[in-house]
Amino acid sequence: MALVSALWEILQRPRTGDVLVELVIFMVPLWVAVIVGVLVGWAWKPKWANLGRDSTKQALAVGDSQATTLSSLIPSFNSFKFQLPCCIPWSADVGPPSKDSCPQSPPFHSNSSPPRAQKDKSMLVMEDDLEYLWKLVEEKDGGPAWIQMMDRSTPTMGYQAWRRDLQSGPPQYRSRTVFEDATPEMVRDFFWDDEFRMKWDDMLVEAKILEECPITGTMMVQWVRKFPFFCSDREYIIGRRIWESGRLYYCVTKGVPCASVPRRNKPRRVDLYYSSWCIRAVESRRGDGQLTACEVLLFHYEDMGIPWEIAKLGVRQGMWGAVKKIDPGLRAYQKQRASSTSPLSRCAFMAQINTKVSSDYLQSLENSDGDSSEAESQDSSEKPNGRNIPKFIVVGGAIALACTLDRGLLTKALIFGVARRFANMGRRL
């Protein structure tokens, strides 16, 4: 009530200028408290805060039927989740966001039971995943428009990046990288080679092959990536597979369930993960008409367990520094492969086992789900009503509600939403 009373006194000032000055002074300590609270809260979060989420995710790994049971057991939490700001990840989620709210990688087909073990491994990544990546490449997935955030280059590499925010789900990123004097096959092997990746990607601290299919080239790998000091490291269980159409390669990597690898408190498991490429030869920017350059279209999103607004800030600040390391890594990889004494790693060998698809098959994907995608994109562009509610009532009510609730994750989510509301108010003034 003290905050509401102070805010009311400020609004009763006789002049508009005095009100604006007092509001700025009033918001500064709140901004400081929000930033410190979010960073400290996520850095020193007690272990019991993850117990509920970890237990539900362990149950999810057993089968899709148990996930349905868990959803029915917590209807009250699911109903309250939609009242929170859409930028806040909800720790009670036991699976990826719904298909209507966030275009996701096609689900893992855990109910399939092929007779042979090799076929079972190939079910990790299927034709649905190829279709999803193809639609992303052709910009026919029905999602919102991409907003460009970067355009930089070096003498041997050009880089562009875009981002888009969905109503729910983590932010999605799209990038286009063109490497001069590189073949699609070399770049394909380079990105697949985990053994060599650890030499140039300083975030990757551990990589292990869990399963592989020598028929389709499908792999299941385990990654551990290093995160900043205030976050624990992250573990990824990734299914990946490559489709080939001529010299065009669709490389799919996504998070998959794995009951054989138990969850641990550290590193923390990342379930929602999607990072896939389309690799093809393009004309060099030297303008000689030769297809001596290689274009890589990357589509990436993941739920790292960090508030998405903070994650977006970190990506924006560190993106170019991370991207600059790729080109020197590729050139070193080219030299290593050119050496006859350097053996081919297992991952690079598996990258050369591709599923062949025709261009006619890829074109047939264009007609699927076209109308429904347009309808969803139109609905997502409509803005909700309720603009006539006074700003001070919204802000004051959110602060009062956050102060009366418990001091756990729910309070952090509400205060983070208030901070976002303050930012929007500041931009409108």
* pLDDT tens, position by position, 150-161: 999 999 999 999
Distances (CA, A) of 111 to 119, 224, 262, 423: 13, 28, 20, 46
| pLDDT tens per residue, range 89-137 | 333 333 333 333 334 444 433 333 334 444 456 578 999 999 999 999 9
My answer on whether 236 and 355 are in the same domain is yes
Largest CA distance in the chain: 82
- Give the number of other CB atoms < 10 A from CB of residue 62: 12
Scanning the structure block, which residue is given the tokens 């699609």?
184
Q: pLDDT value at position 335? A: 94
Give the containing element (helix H, strand E) for 416.
helix 409-428
Q: Are residues 401 and 341 part of one domain?
A: no
Mean pLDDT, the chain, whole residue set: 74
Phi, psi torsion values for 298, nearest 5 degrees: -110, 135
Would 380 be classed as within a structural domain? no
- Co-location of 222 and 154 in the same domain: yes
Cβ atoms of 231 and 203 closer than 8 Å: no
* 338 and 402 belong to one structural domain: no
Higher per-residue confidence, 242 vs 314: 242
Instruction: For residues 413 and 346, state if they share a domain.
Output: no
Let me know if residue 132 belongs to a domain.
Answer: yes
Q: Which residues contact 273 (CB under 8 A, 6 or more apart)?
A: 236, 238, 253, 254, 255, 302, 303
Q: Are residues 405 and 306 in the same domain?
A: no
pTM of the model: 0.61
* Residue 101 is assigned to a structural domain of this protein: no
Structural domain including 358 reads 117-372
**pLDDT at 410 > cutoff 70:** no
| Side chain identity, residue 414 | L
- The count of structural domains within the chain is 2
Q: Which helix (H) or strand (E) holds 149?
A: strand 147-154
